[in-house]
Structures are given as C-alpha cells and as structure tokens.
Amino acid sequence: MRSAPDSGTNGGRPQTEEQDDAQPVADDKGRGDGEGGNNPEQRARKRIRLPRRALVITVSAVLLVSSTATALWLYAFQYRADEQTGPAVAATVVKAASSGAVAVLSYKPETAVADFGAAKSHLTGDFLSYYDQFTQQVVGPAVRQKGVQTTATVIQAGVAELESDSATVVLFVNQSTISAQTPAPSTTAAIVKVGVRKVGDDWLISSFDPV
C-alpha cells in the first residue's frame, strides 16, 4: 500500500524535471528571437519601414507628375506672367508685332514711298537698317517697274517669349500679291517669328524671320 505514494512522489519528480528542462529551451528560443531579428520590436520596425518606402515612391510619382504638368504648361504658354509681363503687356506686344508685320508686307506702286516709310516706323535696330536698304535696292524698283502690289493679313498670333523689354511673337500671315503681268491675286501663307523690343514706350520689331 505504501508503493502508491512512493510512485506518486516519483511520478511528480519527472514532471518537475521536465518543466525545469523546458524552461532553458524557452530561454534559448527567446534569445534566438533577439539574435535572429524576429522579436516583436524588430518586426514593428520592419512594418514601419515599408510605409516609408511606399511614401517615398508616392512622393516621387507626385513630383514627376507635377514636373510634367509644369513643363506642359510652360510649353503651351511659354512666357512668364508677372508685373512686367502680364496679359496686358502680352496683348500690346501681339498688336505691335501684327501691325508692324502688316506694314512691312503691304505696299503698292502709287504709295510705295509712303508705305515703306510707314513700315520703318514699326522697326528698330539692325532690322530697320536691313529693311531700309532692301526696299530701296530690291522691293522699290520691282514695285515701280512691275506694278507689284501686296496686301498682308495676320490670321493668328501668339506670344512665344515675353520679357520686360523684349518678346518673340509667332504670326500666321496671308499675303496676297498682284502685278501688271499677273492681275489675278495669288495668296501665300507663311509663319513668321517676329522679335520685338521695347524702345521707350513703344514695342518695335527688331527681327523678322519666316519659319
């Protein structure tokens, strides 16, 4: 009858030893987590890093889209609108370039001298000198001898560049020409890049280049 208590006592000891033996294993696993980088703190750090990377990618994408939109806006308008280059100044520049181009490209035999003089009032710099020489040596004689008459019309105009004292305007121009030999009008369409410069209070044409 005493063997049962002894057996129960001996049976309790192995359980205690198993518990004691299991404890170091749990400690080793805990240390392994610390060394392997899989403890809760490190897993939390990894979870924190991932959103940061995603945020960097998102911000980069937003900046790329923003830069593209800005480039497209600048390509479409191509001028800075500030205190000295606002919409009112742009309209003035377009008007000056358009009226000057019409004057340069329109003349007739009866009023050629006056037409050339009126055109020169829209010009400045080297282009003024070139136009004066060209009309005297080439255009003037052709107008008088062949009865050449031209009429120009600006179909469309837009500012390409605009600074406080200079600008570039692109003009779409139709020029109708008749002569003594060809009385039927012939129309020529052209795109002209006109450079203008501010001289005093006026905007004058400083360059005139067909595109």
180 and 187 Cβ atoms separated by less than 8 Å: no
pLDDT tens-place string over residues 168-202: 999 999 999 999 999 999 999 999 999 999 999 99
pTM of the model: 0.61
The predicted-structure confidence for 58-107, as pLDDT tens digits, reads as follows 554 444 445 555 555 555 555 454 556 789 999 999 999 999 999 999 99
Exposure string of 106-142, with b = 16+ CB inside 10 Å and e = fewer, is: bbebeebeebbeebbebbbeebbeebeeebeeebbee
Residues making up the chain, counted from first to last? 211
Spell out the residues 6+ positions from residue 188 whose beta carbon is closer than 8 angstroms to its own: 174, 175, 176, 177
- pLDDT tens digits along 29-52: 444 444 445 566 666 555 555 455
**Contact between 135 and 106 (Cβ < 8 Å):** no
Whole-number pLDDT of residue 51 = 54
Q: Please, which residues bridge with residue 198 across strands?
A: 203
- 87-210: which CATH topology? Nuclear Transport Factor 2; Chain: A, (3.10.450)
Which 3 state secondary structure label does DSSP give 200?
coil
Q: What is the pLDDT of residue 163?
A: 94
CA 181 to CA 209: how far, in whole Å? 28
Average confidence (pLDDT) over 136-146? 95
Angle, alpha carbons 160-163-164 (nearest 5°)? 145
The stretch 136-143 carries a mean pLDDT of: 95
Give the number of C-alpha atoms closer than 13 A to the C-alpha of residue 35, restricted to the C-beta side: 6
Question: Which DSSP string do the residues of 158-173 spell out, in sequence order?
Answer: EEEEE-SSEEEEEEEE
Beta strands 202-210 and 166-178: pairing type?
unpaired
6 pLDDT band, cuts 50/70/90, is: very low
